[in-house]
Amino acid sequence: MLTAGATVGMVVWLGLGGVPIANIGGANALTLPAQRHIVRVLHPDGSASLMLALQQEGAGGRGLELFRSNDEGQSWSRFAPIQADPSHRDTADIVQLGQDLALVYSYEGPSLAGSTRHDVYYQRWRYVLSTRSFTPDPPVRVFDSSSSSTAYYRAELVVDSLSRIWVQAFRLNTDGTHSAVLAVSQNGGQTFQLQPDLVTLPRRGGGRLLSLGGSLIFLFHGHDLFGPARYRMREDLAPVSSWGPVQSAFSDGIYHGAALSAVAAGGGQMHLVYKSEREQTLWYRLFDGADFGPRQQIDGSPRWATQGNATLVGGDLYVFYNRVVTAESSYQVVVRKVSDGVVGPPAVLDASDTFKGYPAALERVPLSAATTPCVFGLSEDPSLPGTAEVMFAPVQGGGAPPSAGPVLFSDEFARSASNLGSQWRQDSGLWRVNGVRAASDLNGPDLAFVSSVSCRDCSVEAGVVGFGAPETALVLRVQGARPGDRYEVALLSSGQIQIRRRLSGATVVLGQAAAGVPLWDWATLSLSAVGSGQVTLTASVNGVPRLSVVDAAPGALAQPGLAGLWTTRAGVAFDRFRIRSETAGAP
């Protein structure tokens, strides 16, 4: 039976319910939707934590706090304050940086005036393996409002393919205009260099700065501008201060510039969910790297409180939003899946008779997930105190991928030795193990592989950090008698990944793409090979497929082989090494 306010064709799915996280001073504690308030961090031991930056708005005397879940959102605990003073309403934009967290926080509220308190801070929370916890560095002030006539607000950050950290915010100027300001760090967030302003608007601005792999996009609009949304782009390999011209994105604009959620889709593309300016309804568009495609409606309720947020699972986008039943008092939590460019039917996750405020969703979750979470603020009225709760949408096809077979070999390197050990063949260079990871120990070719496991349809995976080394690689289908003949996936110092075939002394680059990860921090790199007549090779970074190629040349390596590690510099580190069958049920 349909619940009150449901529409024909709507699926009512209420199986998991909400999990309370914390008390909040108002149901809109999770604004802005353009900022990412929640992130999933994968740890070296294979476990994961969800970390949520929540503005409690004075509930319990608290301000901007960090919460943690170690069971994919089923239970939560308060972790630590970010900015504990509730008299200054800061919100955060948060991303994973290797094993660490990186975030910026800045003022956000329903009104804006000049203040010397309205600054922007960057902070890194470093993961400590021995305690399995995070320790914060001192915050670094990126933008300083030195006058009571100016203010900085709505800060966001992004890491480009060359591992530079970019922070974008808006500044209220003394003449009442608002400028999109920008700063960049090329030393891991220790210091930031101011860049030329991106644009100046007559009214309060909003938008999203996002990395698309090998480029950055800045999409923006403003309060009551009633013109088209606009954007600027830059290539990562261009000079730091070089940006393309301001371009028109789409004519219907973005409500307040900040009512949006954007997720990079690979190949320079971007999924966008936004509320249009005049209609105040939710829409979906795909940016293909050059243009924004036609819009598709997510929800047609023209209410200020209706907002969307999106999560990418493989190639599917899950769009969460709060659908109005009775204005300001009763909203539903609804999810729709966008698959192959088509918006699917809505499904109700929570139909309780409460107001539900702005949503906060993960940018992406792994394909192995059974559900994907989204956090909402719940209360009787948007101006009243309430609770932050997490809802869960079932991921279609969730669980282990059908093709995933058993682990054939694993090594956590939990020992100390001057070499990799008896299960490894160290073909060239030097290697050592320090109790938690393996590392190359000689400048020049360093190659090692597992001599006891030969496979054809399988994958190799490891945590890697190259610290800017020319290439940090994993190898597959190594021919034991001729170790130079192999496939490999290499993370390059340019921020790109390559899939290559080496045969009889010749190296052929089969494909190349942006890795989308910082070079000095840990990332999970993997390569799979399937087939013999033609070999399909897929490279993934942090569980996200980045590059897939088919090798059908006469030199394709069709026979089984070994898997291992390769680099050309000393000090390159590897951890959590796995060889896994790509055939379900394989011995």
In 3D, which of 10, 18, 76, 9 has the Cα closest to residue 49?
76
Overall size of the chain counted in residues:
587
pLDDT, position 366: 82
CA 208 to each of CA 286, 488, 492, 516: distance values in angstroms, whole numbers, following the listed order: 15, 35, 28, 17
Query: What phi and psi values does residue 148 have, to the nearest 5 degrees?
Result: -75, 0
pLDDT, position 447: 96
Count CB atoms within 10 A of the CB of residue 227.
12
Which two three-digit tokens encode residue 376?
Answer: 């909402």
What's the burial of 468, exposed, middle or buried (CB within 10 Å: 0-12/13-18/19+)? middle
Query: What phi and psi values does residue 352 have, to the nearest 5 degrees?
Result: -65, 150
CB neighbour list of residue 380: distance below 8 Å, 6 or more residues apart: 329, 354, 355, 386
Contact 104, 167 (CB under 8 A): yes
What the chain holds in terms of domains, given with CATH numbers, is 12-394 (2.120.10.10), 407-581 (2.60.120.560)
Count CB atoms within 10 A of the CB of residue 545.
16
Angstrom distance (rounded) from CA 373 to CA 544: 18
- In this structure, what DSSP letter does residue 256 have? G
- In this structure, what DSSP letter does residue 5 have? T
Rg (CA), the chain: 24
Output the DSSP codes for 411-471.
E---SEESS--TTEEEEES-EEEESS-EEE-SSS-EEEEESS--BSSEEEEEEEE-TT-SE
pLDDT, position 17: 53
- The helix/strand/coil state of 153 is strand
Strand bridging mode 140-143 / 151-159: unpaired
Query: What phi and psi values does residue 97 have, to the nearest 5 degrees?
Result: -130, 95
Output the DSSP codes for 311-345.
EEETTEEEEEEEEEEETTTEEEEEEEEEETTEE--
Output the DSSP codes for 35-71.
S--EEEEE-TTS-EEEEEEEE-TTGGG--EEEEEESS
pLDDT tens, per residue, the chain with 587 residues: 233 333 333 444 443 457 899 999 998 889 999 999 999 988 877 788 999 999 999 999 999 999 999 999 989 999 999 999 999 999 999 998 878 999 999 999 999 999 999 999 999 999 998 898 999 999 999 999 999 999 999 999 999 988 899 999 999 999 999 999 999 999 999 999 999 999 999 999 999 999 998 899 999 999 999 999 999 999 999 999 999 999 999 999 999 999 999 999 878 899 999 999 999 999 999 999 999 999 999 999 888 889 999 999 888 999 999 999 998 889 999 999 999 889 999 998 888 889 999 999 999 988 778 889 999 999 988 889 999 999 999 886 543 333 446 789 999 888 888 889 999 999 999 999 987 789 999 999 999 999 999 999 999 999 898 878 899 999 999 998 899 999 999 999 888 899 999 999 999 999 888 887 767 777 889 999 998 878 999 998 877 778 888 888 888 999 999 999 999 999 899 988 999 988 744 33
Angstrom distance (rounded) from CA 582 to CA 578: 12
